[in-house]
Amino acid sequence: MKIHSLEVYIVDLPTIRPHHLAMHTIVTQTIVLACMRSEDGIEGWGEVATIGGASYFEESPEVIKLTIEKYISPLLIGKNPINFDALSHTIGIHVKGNYFAKALVEATMIDLVAKYKNVPSYELFGGQCHTSLPVAWTLASGDTVRDIEEAKHCLETKRHNIFKLKIGKGDPKKNVAHVIKIKEAIGGAGSVRVDVNQAWDEATSLYCIEALEDGGVDLIEQPLMSWNNEGMSRLSSRFKVPIMADESLGTIQEAYQIAKNRAADVFALKVPKAGGLTATKKVAAIAEASGIPMYGGTMIESSLGTAICAQLYSTIPEMKFGTELFGPLLFKDNITVNQIEYENFEIIIPNGPGFGMVVDKEKVKHYSRETVSSIN
């Protein structure tokens, strides 16, 4: 089997409501899709999602597409995708950084190879440890009463019992009070966590984390800027509530430094930030070797990208803090024929060849930024 072609599409999907982060508010989420075809006609599909263009990470959707088309694709045409790990290494030699682009290309190779072998992609990473995983939901209305009602509805319908609040934007003290009221209303029926998205300085963090800890919050995500590992280490050693690394954690080298300096109590895994599924499995190994629990993060992917992450996370024995793979629930529409299933507070790991999802090519054409005639 040899790679015949690799095509990239930028797609914008509308969301059911605004999704607020410290650096951006999502009302339309941009995902980048890639389709790799073998010479015998098998297709492998991959996806990465970005947030606010380049506001969250260095790579914009446009850069991802250009990097793949100009610099990565020529390295792959005519090669055998079964050697995806070796090909990813070759790409790494010729293309520095650009981790989202690398993750997207590797995913297409893995989907293609798994379909060729007629197995789920998780079989290429040691097989499943989990058939389902806990999944969090973000409460984002900003209104305390509405958020409490939404959380209680999620609990009653057994959709979610883990709730995250994005509190990096606005008055920190008001945000903390908002979170504590929600935790008081939910009580022991659900876990309440917060994501600061790097918005606080260390002085603000000292006050706010103490209040959140006293209020029963279970996890504090990335309170400080990504470069401030020393500050993160001080916070981790000071408080009982776990501090999780997200924006500061991507590559295996960053994972090693955070583990070595104990700059976090929890690792948030994210496939595109690490540079692919293979690299993410290595980040997970560093966490395991360091006794650091893990959380399956999201870039708010659609159903395909969610399946990619879910399949990999299902191969990791200990996912103590569950996952945040709620992306498909946030979109008004999706780009796959089949959908991700959620039940009993968990995401069901997709099965089937490859990542277990069938791409709806008409939807890709509909939501693509460019006129697409090459999808058949």
Rounded to an integer, the average pLDDT of 218-222 is 98
**Mean pLDDT, the chain, as a whole number?**
95
Residue 133 falls in which region: left (phi positive, over 0), alpha (psi -120 to 50) or beta: beta
Question: Residues 128, 315: contact at Cβ < 8 Å?
Answer: yes
- Residue 157: exposure state from Cβ atoms within 10 A (0-12, 13-18, ≥19): exposed
Instruction: Extract the tokens encoding 126.
Output: 């040691």
Q: How many residues does the chain have?
A: 376
Which residue type sits at 206? L
pLDDT the model gives residue 306: 98
- Judged by average pLDDT, the poorest of 53-57, 76-80, 226-230 is 53-57
Instruction: Extract the tokens encoding 9.
Output: 């599409």
1-27 pLDDT tens trace? 999 999 999 999 999 887 777 667 878
Q: How many CA atoms lie within 13 A of 277 on its CB side?
A: 32
Question: Residues 17, 193: contact at Cβ < 8 Å?
Answer: no
Instruction: Extract the tokens encoding 132.
Output: 């389902």
Question: Residues 232, 243: contact at Cβ < 8 Å?
Answer: yes
Q: Enumerate the β-bridge partners of residue 193.
A: 164, 219
Identify which of 115, 132, 116, 114 has the alpha carbon closest to the alpha carbon of residue 124: 114
Write the CB contacts of 318 (distance below 8 Å, at least 6 apart in sequence): 288, 293, 294
274-310 pLDDT tens trace? 999 999 999 999 999 999 999 999 999 999 999 999 9
Instruction: Extract the tokens encoding 1.
Output: 């089997």
Instruction: Extract the tokens encoding 249.
Output: 């954690």
Say how far apart CA 91 and CA 147 lie, in whole Å.
Answer: 45
What CA dihedral angle connects 313, 47, 141 and 192, to 10 degrees? 10
pLDDT the model gives residue 57: 78
3-118+358-367: CATH superfamily: Enolase-like, N-terminal domain (3.30.390.10)
321-338 pLDDT tens trace? 999 999 999 999 999 999
In the 8-state DSSP scheme, what is residue 354? B
Indicate the pLDDT class of residue 55, thresholds 50, 70 and 90: confident
Say how far apart CA 153 and CA 155 lie, in whole Å.
Answer: 5
pLDDT the model gives residue 58: 85
Percent of the chain surpassing pLDDT 90: 91
Indicate the pLDDT class of residue 370, thresholds 50, 70 and 90: confident
Question: Residues 296, 324: contact at Cβ < 8 Å?
Answer: yes
188-213 pLDDT tens trace? 999 999 999 999 999 999 999 999 99
Say how far apart CA 168 and CA 181 lie, in whole Å.
Answer: 17
Write the CB contacts of 173 (distance below 8 Å, at least 6 apart in sequence): 207, 208
pLDDT the model gives residue 22: 65
Instruction: Extract the tokens encoding 311.
Output: 């399949």
Identify which of 188, 313, 292 has the alpha carbon closest to the alpha carbon of residue 244: 292
111-152 pLDDT tens trace? 999 999 999 999 999 999 999 999 999 998 889 999 999 999
Instruction: Extract the tokens encoding 14.
Output: 């509308």
3-state helix, strand, coil in the chain (%, to 5): 40, 20, 35
Tokens 């209020």 — which residue? 215
Say how far apart CA 128 and CA 313 lie, in whole Å.
Answer: 9
pLDDT the model gives residue 291: 98
Task: Please determine, for residue 374, whether its predicted confidence score (pLDDT) is greater than 90.
Answer: no
Rounded to an integer, the average pLDDT of 78-105 is 97
Collapsing DSSP to helix, strand or coil, 18 comes out as: strand
Identify which of 190, 261, 189 has the alpha carbon closest to the alpha carbon of residue 228: 261
Collapsing DSSP to helix, strand or coil, 76 comes out as: helix
CATH number of 124-348: 3.20.20.120
**277-290 vs 252-260: helix crossing angle, rounded to 10:** 10
Question: Residues 64, 48: contact at Cβ < 8 Å?
Answer: yes
Identify which of 271, 206, 219 has the alpha carbon closest to the alpha carbon of residue 57: 271
In the 8-state DSSP scheme, what is residue 77? T
Going from N- to C-terminal start, the domains of the chain cover 3-118+358-367, 124-348
Q: Which residues are catalytic?
A: 166
**Predicted model pTM:** 0.94
